[in-house]
Amino acid sequence: MAYDPSKDNILHTWENDETGLMISICRYGDGEEKLQIGPRRYTKKDGTKTTTKPGRLAVDDVLWLNEIIEDVVNKMNEYYLKDS
Q: What is the pLDDT along the chain (84 residues), one digit of tens a residue?
A: 799 999 999 999 999 999 999 999 999 999 999 999 999 998 889 999 999 999 999 999 999 999 999 999 999 999 888 876
Helix (H, G, I), strand (E, B) or coil at 8: strand
Task: Report the C-alpha gap between 80 and 17 in whole angstroms.
Answer: 28
Predicted pLDDT at 1: 76
29: Cβ–Cβ under 8 A, 6 or more apart, which residues? 4, 7
Predicted pLDDT at 33: 95
Predicted pLDDT at 15: 96
Helix (H, G, I), strand (E, B) or coil at 60: helix
